[in-house]
Structure 1
Amino acid sequence: MSAGNESFVTEFFIIGFPGLQPDFYNLLVGTAILFILLLILLGCIANICIIAHNKPLHTPMYFFICLLAMVDIVYTSGISVTMLNVLLGEERRVPYGPCMLQCFLFNLGSSMEPFTIALMAYDRLIAIVHPLRYLTILNKTNVCVLIIATWAAGCLFAGLFTGILNNLPYCTSNQLSYSFCEYAALVRAACVDPAYYFTLISTVGTSILWVNFGLIFFSYMKIVYEVLKMSSKDRRKMFSTCLSHIIVVVCFFIPKVLLVFVTRFGLVLTLTQRNGLIIGSTLGPSLVNPFVYCLKTKEIRRRLKNIFSRCKITPNI
């Protein structure tokens, strides 16, 4: 494109959901997103607080659950604020700096989520295959190293993508065709050929997904091999132990794989449909994760019951 079309951009204009023209539909979608965000924050904070205030839960499995909860908070809260401003506050202008920060947080969460889920699969593998050595292999030092490495990997990829976007020349027409500051929207707003930049993030993002999925698949193949040697009673116990994590894996990877196939294999979607698909693949798994662990993990469920039983008011007779 012509260099004359480039300019120093100080803010971006979010188009949002052009298919939702009546204010009623904007209000309805915005209210739904706000409700989902509050549920995510409630579930994640509840998990973190319950685990933090109960020393018997200070084990590797629960530390990884806390890590997943923190990732979900980072992953969803950044994009939801802009969407709520667009849909409920009708504020479509986002300054350059906050837009890049939001993009960094979104890329951080989307990079860390599969790494965290893979760590949780490794935790289940050690717990089932090497139960007597569990606390030796996953001691506090090793757990801290794994958690720090996960944050470092997430920051590396998020910094890489955000750094690329920060150095692009943006056009005078600084409209973003999405509902928040996202990599693809910012590339389309730049005065560059987007093909190279889309290929780059597609290659790196797909590699992150498939490498972590491969690690999870290998872990469960090893788990299945060991479980087949056990009695039927022990098998049911092991399946119950892994059920929560299996649900999290399915809820995260299926929407991501569908998103890759839809966006990279030529299926034509409207802008509103594309926005909805991206938002659903982001908020959906993050909504499922905390409540799966609240409802399916016996120790957390028991702590919740104790909390609610203490809050009951006994009437005076």
Structure 2
Amino acid sequence: MLLNNNVTEFILLGLTQDPVRKKIVFAIFLIFYLGTLLGNLLIIATIKTSRALESPMYYFLFYLSFSDTCFSTSIAPRMIVDALLKKTTISFSECMIQVFTFHFFSCLEIFILILMAVDRYVAICKPLHYMTIMSHRVCGGLMALAWVGACVHSSAQIFLALSLPFCGPNVIDHYFCDLQPLLKLACTNTYVTNLLLVSNSGAICTVSFVVLMFSYVVILHSLRNHSVEGRKKALSTCISHIIVVILFFGPCIFIYTRPATTFPMDKMIAVFYTIGTPLFNPLIYTLRNAEVKNAMRMLWRKKLISDDKK
């Protein structure tokens, strides 16, 4: 329910107001977004068409790439278009939709990263029971829980956002709509709302990061009992996952676990997990994974053969 809400649209200040720098932002982030789409869609197509990538790890990687694509699309296109405009406005309803989609896909990514850690733990620590524990039915059930959990989290964010009264001003010092910059515009005491924000988003980020790092410590410790070849392969996979976890959770924890204060660097730090992580994930998972690279080569050969036949 909206209370005393006289604001129908918000003005987004973006990363910069300088006309020259806005053109640079447009060029750089257009390249980043196209790279994100190309990389993640290539992984999606490769996993979908390759029989060699049917293990649970690639099942979760498929959904991670899908989540990255949607996550980036919820932020980047508007940011890129806004860089070409003198005055960038977003309607109240569009702002709320962006809050929901941003938090939904970011939370979904968190849960998928946890499921990938669980998958690696079972594969390395319980190899004889791997296919029994991580069956198609179990993986499907875990993904369904991840979707439900993400929906619950983003619904809570929307509830908090809609409970805020906005009387003006309507200028958001950010490049997308999020609950923290909206709190600064609310014409009411936001102490309780900020506390709920930290206990929701902040707790999810911090607890998930601790759980993930602890799980990888356990996994890496258990590798001492494996053969040199098996240890090397498992270590390569785990290091890829750890890099992704640090890149994503580091900025998130910085933004969402502190009181309602903002710093000039917040917008640039937000770029790391809104634009950077979806771009780097495909590079990390392909460059360090021989199976994915081989499957991509096979997909490319099939395309060349089909083109030759035409």
TM-score (norm 2): 0.89
SS class of match (2:225): coil
In the TM superposition, structure 1's runs of 4+ consecutive aligned residues that sit over 6 Å from their partners are none
Residue 10 of structure 1: how far off its partner (Å): 2.1
For residues 36-74 of structure 1, give each alpha carbon's deviation from its aligned partner in whole angstroms, at most 9, with x where no partner exists. 111111111111111111233122111100111121122
SS class of match (1:169): coil
- Is the Cα contact below 8 Å between 2:26 and 2:80 reproduced in 1? yes
Residue 311 of structure 1: how far off its partner (Å): 6.0
Evaluate the alpha carbon distance shift between residue 191 and residue 311 of structure 1 in structure 2; reply closer, same or farther with a 3 A threshold.
same
Residue 274 of structure 1 corresponds to 266
Give the alignment partner of residue 203 of structure 2, picking from 203, 207, 210: 207
For residues 190-216 of structure 1, give each alpha carbon's deviation from its aligned partner in whole angstroms, at most 9, with x where no partner exists. 211122222211122221122222322
Kindly tell me the number of residue pairs found equivalent between the two proteins: 305
- Cα distance in 2, alignment partners of residues 265 and 14 from structure 1: 19
Give the alignment partner of residue 144 of structure 1, picking from 119, 140, 146: 140
Give the alignment partner of residue 255 of structure 1, picking from 251, 254, 266: 251
Evaluate the alpha carbon distance shift between residue 247 and residue 135 of structure 1 in structure 2; reply closer, same or farther with a 3 A threshold.
same
- Cα distance in 1, alignment partners of residues 140 and 7 from structure 2: 41
1:297 correspondence with 2:280: no
Q: Read off the aligned partner of 1:164 and give its amino acid letter.
A: L
- Is the Cα contact below 8 Å between 2:75 and 2:274 reproduced in 1? no
For residues 71-102 of structure 1, give each alpha carbon's deviation from its aligned partner in whole angstroms, at most 9, with x where no partner exists. 11222111112212321234511112111111
SS class of match (2:75): helix
Residue 193 of structure 2 corresponds to 197
- Cα distance in 2, alignment partners of residues 125 and 194 from structure 1: 41
For residues 197-251 of structure 1, give each alpha carbon's deviation from its aligned partner in whole angstroms, at most 9, with x where no partner exists. 2221112222112222232233223323321122333322321232321221222
For residues 256-307 of structure 1, give each alpha carbon's deviation from its aligned partner in whole angstroms, at most 9, with x where no partner exists. 334457x5597x733xx32222122321122111111122221210122234
Residue 7 of structure 2 corresponds to 9
User: Which has the larger displacement, 97-106 or 242-251?
Assistant: 242-251
Evaluate the alpha carbon distance shift between residue 136 and residue 221 of structure 1 in structure 2; reply closer, same or farther with a 3 A threshold.
same
- Cα distance in 2, alignment partners of residues 137 and 127 from structure 1: 9
- Cα distance in 1, alignment partners of residues 221 and 180 from structure 2: 42
Residue 147 of structure 1: how far off its partner (Å): 0.4
SS class of match (1:168): coil
Evaluate the alpha carbon distance shift between residue 119 and residue 303 of structure 1 in structure 2; reply closer, same or farther with a 3 A threshold.
same
Q: Read off the aligned partner of 2:53 and give its amino acid letter.
A: L
> Identity over the aligned pairs, expressed in percent?
29
Q: Which runs of 5+ in 2 are unaligned?
A: 306-310
Residue 180 of structure 2 corresponds to 184
- Is the Cα contact below 8 Å between 1:14 and 1:177 reproduced in 2? yes
Residue 160 of structure 1: how far off its partner (Å): 0.7
Q: Read off the aligned partner of 1:41 and give its amino acid letter.
A: L
Evaluate the alpha carbon distance shift between residue 232 and residue 54 of structure 1 in structure 2; reply closer, same or farther with a 3 A threshold.
closer
Residue 166 of structure 1 corresponds to 162
Evaluate the alpha carbon distance shift between residue 95 and residue 259 of structure 1 in structure 2; reply closer, same or farther with a 3 A threshold.
closer
- Cα distance in 2, alignment partners of residues 200 and 183 from structure 1: 11
- Cα distance in 2, alignment partners of residues 158 and 150 from structure 1: 12
SS class of match (2:188): coil
- Is the Cα contact below 8 Å between 2:194 and 2:259 reproduced in 1? no
Evaluate the alpha carbon distance shift between residue 255 and residue 187 of structure 1 in structure 2; reply closer, same or farther with a 3 A threshold.
closer
Evaluate the alpha carbon distance shift between residue 56 and residue 160 of structure 1 in structure 2; reply closer, same or farther with a 3 A threshold.
same
Residue 70 of structure 1 corresponds to 66
